[in-house]
Chains A and B, each alone.
Chain A
Amino acid sequence: MPDLLLTQDDNFDKKKTCMKNIKFVLLIVTASILFWSCGEETLDSKSIFDNDEQVMNEFDQWLYTNFTVPYNIEFKYRFDDKESNTNYNLTPARLDKSVALAILVKHLWIDVYEELLGKEFLSKYSPRLFHLIGSPAYNSQGSIILGTAEGGLKVTLYNVNMIDVENPDIDMLNYWYFKTMHHEFAHILHQTKSYTTDFNLISATDYQSGSWVNIGDDEALQMGFVSPYGSSESQEDFVEVLAVYVTNTDEYWQSMLEVAGDEGAAKITQKFHIVEDYLKSSWNIDITELREIVIRRSAEVETMDLTKLN
């Protein structure tokens, strides 16, 4: 009965030896299986994902040189269902309108930030994709969408087909596109670095959610919002302050404050100071300098030829 004499430890050691043997056998078996089974498989050097080949036209080439290479931005002017919101009925953008908008985006947006902060800032924080849509997106409450941003990566610009290429109306362009782009870019900034929650307290009980469509311009100002859309919720409020401020003259801003009345103006000014401090401390952006550049460049649009790529 030698087995009975074994101690606990011996038993354990024995087990270890067995395990070693098993491991060894397993290793041999596995190795031989692998050796036989995979002998003749080779990998195809071509990727299976690269299907959408497109002939590059002059515009594509220009975009590649001016947007993609320096800033890693894709400017998608062709309608792409994968990038579109299928809840809406939309149309593609016209080619000539897309060309005009690309020239304008470069002049009034990319070059603005580059002038202020250098190339690196945009190549790091700019949305990676701009997608153009010819029509507006119509909401069921009767409002229309001008632009949307998703997670700091993508900005969609709507209603591109209404741009007048021959006689660009800078106020309209600022309202439709550049205010929208500063608005969306501001979302990217605050999604990257948060602003103080003190901002949310200024109009805490006044936010309207979807009912913002029922608020008139003057009414919004008197409530302490720079625009009706700003009254929808605090994040929109925050980015609207930035967008409205940088795309309008000081004269306009002062007239807004006048319409707003004492109470409204106080709230707007309080919000503005938070935005101003946030941009300075988090991004080293002087908002007034930013506005000066935007306004100077806006004035230059009148003499630009929006039909020629150079």
Chain B
Amino acid sequence: MNDNYKNMKKIRNITFLLGIILFFSCNPVEENLFEDSSSIRISKALQDTHDVLTNAENGWLMEYFPSSQQTYGGFNVLAKFSDAEVTITSEIADYDTTEKSSFSLKQSAGPVLTFDTYNEIFHTFSDPNSSKSGLGDNGVGMGGDFEFLILKSTQDSVILKGKKTGNRIIMTPIQSGTDWGAYVEELQEASEIMAFKNFEYHVAGQIIPVRVSYRSLIMTYTNEEGNEVTVSAPYIQTLTGYKLYQPLTILGVTVEAFNYGKEGDTEYFTPVNGTDARLVAVFPPLNQTLVSGDWFFAFSGLGSFGKTYWNHAKVNGLDAIGEVLYYAYLGTHSDGKYAFSFASAFGSSLYGGALHFNYELIDENKVKYSFALTGAGDGVWYYNNAQFVYLIYPLYGGSNKTFTLTADNEKDPSWILLTDDSDPDNTIKLFANQIIWPFSN
């Protein structure tokens, strides 16, 4: 009983205290941090963004970077927004064509701009069918976004972030009076004039070799700590030069954009911000160009000597196993070694491999090839079972062969012709563009 009574008392006291605490703690008037509900504020934010987008009367210039690694660099897209429709053109399309489709602004993880019906121009960047853009693996394509988080929207600029890639995409209003077609055409011309494969980057007293991959500057240099590093600087074409995806700092020198210039035969780029650095276009000797790129075979590019050998490989090798050569090139195989690299098609399946080669550069326009007697992938299998020795024989003739090189344009060749120094009938024309089905081309 005593215990019970004490417990009762305790409970009564606690209840009483609780009452007092609750009474004081409960402030009858809640101060709202915002005036409106979250829903109204979101709607208003979306409406504001919609107004910003549609108010640019000549549309927006979008600096679009597909691929999460920005592998292909950036592309200029022009977009004009009306109520629910967007009109698009881009330097990747004919300069005088535009395409219309729809867009929506919606609330997801923040306000989102989505191009939600297909646009023949805009969705080229995100189409998983790689034949649409001619780039990337099938199922991925260029790997670009068409849904964007809106990080900022003002009448001077809109900053987007790709939902999948996370890439930052900047939009600025296009001046009224600027003709879209003329602008795109100028961009396309600039891009043609400013297309280079190699540069030397003169910075902080050093000269760094630069390779161009799509629209990326690939630089390998020794940093302040003495380590060799490779950086990739994706850029977008502007009317006056290149604008980098993000500021590039090398040996303490930071650059955001380059202007193109030309003095005599020298073509170069200088930083827009006036920093002391210079990107000078260089044209490597032809034999260097040959061994540093991937150069594709076509049957029609072979001399009579080569044609005989290739025919033998086709009839006795490929035909016999029911396969067709899909492509073949001289260049760097996926194992990083210089090789005769190929893919062979069996129905819809592709089998790839390589047969390694050694090369020696002689003067500026000669190369000496020898077969390394090793392979990668299915290379050795095809060598043993599909007569692929006949495909490579014209390159080394059983031991080694020296070729003299010529090209259509030494600065930017679309093909290189190899002529065997010991046999003028043994010529091999290799192409910069990928040749699919070399036996039919």
Contact = CB atoms under 8 A, between A and B. Distances in A.
B4 interface: yes
A53 B107 CA distance: 10
Interface stretch (B37-45, B311-319, B353-361, B404-412): B37-45
Given A40-B28, A48-B37, 17 more contacts: A25-B12, A32-B19, A33-B22, A37-B26, A40-B29, A46-B40, A51-B106, A51-B107, A54-B84, A57-B84, A78-B102, A78-B104, A79-B146, A81-B108, A91-B127, A92-B146, A94-B101
Interface string B41-58: 011001000000000000
B309 interface: no
Interface of B: 1-2, 4-5, 8, 11-12, 15-16, 18-19, 22-23, 26, 28-30, 37-40, 42-43, 46, 83-84, 101-102, 104, 106-108, 112, 114-118, 123, 126-129, 138-141, 143, 146-147, 163-164, 348-349
Shortest beta-carbon contacts, A-B, top 9: A138-B139, A37-B26, A29-B19, A48-B39, A78-B116, A89-B128, A94-B118, A79-B116, A51-B107
B39 A95 contact: no
A182 B363 CA distance: 69
A93 interface: yes
Interface string A14-49: 110010011001100100110011111100101111
Which of under 10, 10 to 19, 20 to 34, or 35 or more describes the interface residues of A?
35 or more
A103 to B, nearest CB: 17
Contact of A52 (B2, B84, B107, B163): B107
A135 interface: yes
B26 A134 contact: no
A282 to B, nearest CB: 39
Contacts of B37: 44, 46, 48
A113 B23 CA distance: 64
Interface string A89-118: 111111101100000000000000000000
A91 B40 contact: no
A97 B147 CA distance: 21
Contacts of A98: 117
Contacts of A37: 22, 26, 28
Contacts of B123: 91-92, 134
B143 A89 contact: yes
Contacts of B2: 3
A251 interface: no
A303 B115 CA distance: 33
Nearest to B40: A46
Contacts of A78: 102, 104, 116-117
Contact of B116 (A25, A29, A86, A92): A92
